[in-house]
Amino acid sequence: MMAAIAENTSKAGARRRLIKLDKTQMMLMLFLTLVGIFMILPLFYIFNHALKPYSELFLYPPRIFVQQPTLTNFSEFFSLLKDSTIPASRYLFNSIVVAGLGTVSVVIVSALAAYPLSKHPFPGSKLLFSAIVISLMFVPEALQIPRYIVVAQLGIMDTYVGHILPHVAAPVSVFLVKQFMDQVPNDLIEAAKIDGAREFTVFMRIVIPVVMPSIATSSILTFQDIWNDTSTSTLFMQNDAMKTFPYYLSTLTNNLANSVARQGAVAAASLILFLPTLIIFLTFQRKVIATMAHSGIK
Amino acid sequence: MSNELQLASKTQVKLGVQEKLNLLTKRIWKYRISYLFLSPFLIAFTLFILIPVLAAFGLSFTYYNSIQPPTFAGWDNFEYLLSQDVLFLKYALPNTLTFALIVGPGGYVLSFIIAWLIAQIPDRWRIWFVLAFYAPSLAGGVVMNIIWQPLLSGDRIGYLNSFLLRMGWIEEPQLWVIDPDYLMIAMIGVTMWTSMGVGFLALLAGILNVDKQLYEAARIDGVKSRLQEIWYITIPYMKPQMLFAAVMAIVNAFKAGQIGETLSGMKPTPEYAGHTIHNHISDFGLIRYEMGYAAALSVVLLLMIYFFNRLSWRLFGNKGDE
């Protein structure tokens, strides 16, 4: 962006301007790197912790960086997997299905709902939007029992639908995508309609490409939420074979008398659990930055 | 004759209502495609949010121990809450307000500044900075504890204490997370560290989304400094994202509750210094099994968040939006 501005200034000042801006950019990057290192510590910690031998896992005060990296934690974790009554691959499979299908459905359903909320003055639109924003304000504890009753009444206990459907009601996602759709000029939509495009075509061809950054952001958020969620497993799944990977990990240490055993396996498992969120974040955030660099709303 | 008149006016009134209904049905029919787009979300929203929220509103007027069926209690819960619940009035309410009024606006402004700074650096590097600042949100609460506990630990070994001791700024180690005088400060500091969440991502996308030509045009119109650019172009242009981030900042600040208990490692926090309304709700709902009272507390919290939300919408001058 800076380069673009610099190019557009008069030729005489162009060279000096470019150099000057690069200098501020350098200073800025130095500053952001210093603060950023402190912010990114948790990520270093997750990776290093998984490689620590037992002698380092319980050091006090704890160290972030590992001194003598080892893979024993992983072998401990995998040997634990062999012992479990239900194969751990089943939990992993459940998690992938639930998080994958869940994220896709949340994103599609939210985008579909955001479009009329942003662009159609249908009767009740303001009321509905207020209801969505207000629903963000309610703390989840008070909703647990009514939600449990709804899920039980629907007969979706112990099914994948029971994992996914409660997440599909995603007010944050709808709100986010709707706000980005507000920036799409109405003229653009009207022009397409005059050319004979139907609502769905307008939605797919014009609105969605412009709000892609918000869809990518909402995917990151939703995946992170569903992937780490243990509440649907705890509340709605009675059959152990239907529970998810993070739930299984939380059981690894729960029933033990001391807090030392299996900590190595837990450290390794935390890294394994974290990797997919990291990959999803990098993939989709890259998309946000890339689409911005090329287009933008005209 | 008068009878006839009466009859005539009556039919007219009937017609009026009838016409209105007809008009409404016509309008609804005109927008049938909008409802079709909305329907999948509406179904899920009704089932998992609307019905549970309404049920919780209903429960707030009952006595309910989550085992026996609820019994109607009228305004009792609210009366008790406003007149007798000392923990709520003396600790939970002021703590929540202090915490939220600092963390909400503070986290919001911080997110905007960081997002804007990140938008100024070259595309190639940007992703890694976004990752770094989003890392605390990405890694979640468990890791946060590991980073901050040794840092704020109350003995000499704690990083903060040992640093301050070495600099000669304090005489003896301070109990940062256990001393009631410091706990709130520690809670606020740590929460600011994690405040780069979804609002931050939305703001960044919004800033990057601003049409570059606008800046060039403004330059010709006499906008000179970067600050002027932010004030006259960036912020007005990305109003929708600003609003989203503001709402999320307020909601998250008021709903925060775990942080005090995680930091001090005590439940409830020492002398209730970090006791928030959310803690109070979990306390009644999940430990004492007084769901009716917990629901009443949630309703009060909702009303508070709603009030501050309206205030911020008014600040942004976006009355037409809600």
Residue B265: which region, alpha, beta or left (left: phi > 0; alpha: psi -120 to 50)?
A: left
B153, A48 Cβ separation under 8 angstroms? no
- Interchain contact A57–B (C-beta under 8 A): no
CATH 1.10.3720.10 fits B77-321, yes or no: yes
From A171, which residue of chain B is nearest by alpha-carbon distance?
B45
More confident residue, A287 or B3: A287
* pLDDT digit string, tens, across residues A132-171: 999 988 888 778 888 888 999 999 999 999 999 999 999 9
* pLDDT digit string, tens, across residues B135-147: 988 887 666 666 7
H helix or E strand, kind and range, residue A257: none
pLDDT band (50, 70, 90) for residue A14: very low
H helix or E strand, kind and range, residue A134: helix A125-135
Check B122 against A36: CB less than 8 A apart. Answer: no
Is pLDDT above 50 for A181?
yes
- Interchain contact A244–B (C-beta under 8 A): no
Check A45 against B146: CB less than 8 A apart. Answer: yes
Mutation target for B interface from A292, A294, A297, A298: give the one with most B CBs within 10 A.
A292
Closest alpha carbon to A151 in A224, A238, A223: A238
Angle CA(A189)–CA(A297)–CA(A3) in degrees, nearest 5? 165
Ordered by start, the domain boundaries in chain B are 2-72, 77-321
User: What is the token pair recorded at A70?
Assistant: 């080892």
* pLDDT digit string, tens, across residues B185-202: 888 988 888 888 899 999
Q: What is the pLDDT of residue A268?
A: 87
Q: Which residues contact B102 (CB under 8 A, 6 or more apart)?
A: B188
Size of interface A-B (CB pairs under 8 A): 275
User: B214: which chain A residues are within 8 Å (Cβ-Cβ)?
Assistant: none
Check A145 against B66: CB less than 8 A apart. Answer: yes
The Cα of A54 is separated from the nearest Cα of chain B by a number of Å equal to 16
Q: Which domains does chain A have, with CATH numbers?
A: 1-39 (no CATH), 86-294 (1.10.3720.10)
pTM listed for this prediction: 0.87
Q: Where are the alpha helices (DSSP H) in B120-140?
A: 123-139
Q: What is the pLDDT of residue A23?
A: 79
Nearest to B28 among A62, A123, A298 (CB): A123
Nearest to A46 among B139, B297, B302 (CB): B139
Segment A66-81 mean pLDDT = 85
* Mean model confidence pLDDT for chain B: 84
Is pLDDT above 80 for A261?
no
Residue B174: which region, alpha, beta or left (left: phi > 0; alpha: psi -120 to 50)?
A: beta
